[in-house]
């Protein structure tokens, strides 16, 4: 079965702050065919949200090309951050940078860069200083929760970001190679710290339906298909 590019184009055209709703868990061979057609879902009150972090070639990113339980590990979007108090994109950017530092997730060197995500049908490059950094709670030489943020995109008087976070550990034998641990642990850790220490508070859970089940060559690890929604009201 070939991807329906006409349907994909219609979805993108309808994307900004309201579009066709795309629900359901991706399963089987269809999941692998979508490797070149990053899906979007349309949560109520938000712009369309791309399901996957995108690699520099715009294909859904794979976690350092790691083979996890015999399959390639695809990286899902697992957080949505909405700033309802910022009055400009620059203001929203500065506020989120400050919030990430307060939460104990500053920008840290030593991570791959150049990723993107779709928000409202717009390809949003990786948020930050662009110098091989990611937001992380520990240096890359240690076990850490880390991730990339994308946006902002303006919608309904607010500014919307998305993020893909994961937990990694250092190979105990070589002390060099990074190994995947969890998507959910990193997502939950960042959401908790932002909620405790910043104006970004947990506002709910958004089903993104980006869990891969029974795909012959792909997996999303322990990801449950849910993005945590955090909103700043002040």
The string of pLDDT tens digits covering residues 73-114 is 999 999 999 999 999 999 999 999 999 999 999 999 877 888
Identify which of 97, 108, 150, 91 has the alpha carbon closest to the alpha carbon of residue 126: 150
* Domain range for 205: 20-232
Beta partners for residue 67, in sequence order: 72
Q: Is residue 1 included in any domain, yes or no?
A: no
> Mean pLDDT of all residues in the chain?
85
Contact 99, 199 (CB under 8 A): yes
Identify which of 80, 3, 15, 34 has the alpha carbon closest to the alpha carbon of residue 220: 34
Q: Is residue 24 included in any domain, yes or no?
A: yes
Domain count, the chain: 1
Q: Is residue 166 included in any domain, yes or no?
A: yes
The string of pLDDT tens digits covering residues 194-232 is 999 999 999 999 999 999 988 899 999 999 999 999 999
Tell me whether strands 71-74 and 218-219 are parallel, antiparallel or unpaired: parallel
**Cis geometry, peptide bond prior to residue 152 (ω within 30 degrees of 0):** yes
Side by side, which strands form the sheet with 49-50? 40-41, 49-50, 116-119, 122-125
The string of pLDDT tens digits covering residues 147-198 is 999 999 999 999 999 999 999 998 766 656 779 999 999 999 999 999 999 9
3 state DSSP class of 35: helix
């Amino acid at each position: 079965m070939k991807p329906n590019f006409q349907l994909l184009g219609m979805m993108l055209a309808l994307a900004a702050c309201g579009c066709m709703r795309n629900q359901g868990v991706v399963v089987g061979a269809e999941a692998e065919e979508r490797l070149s057609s990053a899906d979007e879902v349309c949560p109520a009150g938000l712009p369309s949200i791309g399901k996957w972090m995108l690699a520099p070639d715009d294909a859904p990113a794979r976690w350092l090309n790691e083979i996890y339980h015999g399959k390639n590990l695809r990286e899902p979007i697992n957080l949505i951050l909405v700033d309802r108090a910022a009055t400009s994109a620059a203001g929203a950017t500065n506020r989120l940078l400050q919030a990430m530092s307060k939460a104990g997730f500053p920008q840290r060197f030593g991570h791959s860069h150049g990723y993107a995500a779709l928000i409202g049908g717009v390809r949003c490059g990786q948020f930050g200083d662009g110098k091989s950094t990611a937001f992380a709670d520990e240096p890359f030489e240690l076990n850490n929760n880390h991730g990339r943020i994308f946006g902002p995109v303006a919608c309904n008087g607010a500014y919307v970001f998305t993020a893909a976070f994961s937990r990694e550990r250092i190979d105990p034998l070589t002390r060099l190679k990074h190994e995947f641990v969890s998507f959910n642990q990193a997502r939950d850790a960042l959401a908790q710290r932002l909620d405790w220490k910043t104006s970004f508070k947990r506002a709910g859970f958004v089903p993104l339906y980006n869990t891969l089940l029974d795909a012959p060559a792909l997996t999303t690890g322990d990801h449950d298909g849910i993005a945590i929604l955090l909103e700043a009201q002040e």
